């Protein structure tokens, strides 16, 4: 996932997943918001779906994926201050 603050573009790229679903339909989901706007993301990930709610659901990105066993890593990088709260959901 990436966020270009100058363009206001949020992208979810699943092109490097282990099992691409249907590359013909596109592997990148994207949404535009006001450039430079502060963004609140709520990210929900389960066994096969990633949903990203942007600014309390003003916009939503959804993607299916199928990770390989023990693939449980989420990487967040940025050049701005980032605050993250992580919640582990119980089964």
Whether this model's pTM surpasses 0.85: no
33-54 pLDDT, tens digit per residue, is 888 778 888 888 887 788 889 9
Residues 6 or more apart from 66 whose CB is under 8 A from it?
17, 18, 19, 21, 48
Task: List, for residues 58-67, the tens digit of each pLDDT value.
Answer: 999 988 877 7
């Amino acid at each position: 996932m990436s966020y270009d603050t100058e363009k206001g573009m949020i992208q979810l790229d699943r092109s490097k997943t282990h099992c691409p679903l249907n590359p013909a339909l596109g592997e990148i989901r994207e949404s535009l918001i006001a450039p430079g706007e502060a963004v609140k993301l709520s990210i929900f990930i389960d066994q096969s779906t990633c949903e990203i709610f942007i600014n309390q659901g003003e916009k939503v990105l959804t993607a299916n994926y199928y990770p390989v066993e023990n693939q449980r890593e989420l990487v967040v990088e940025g050049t701005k201050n980032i605050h993250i709260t992580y919640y582990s959901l119980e089964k």
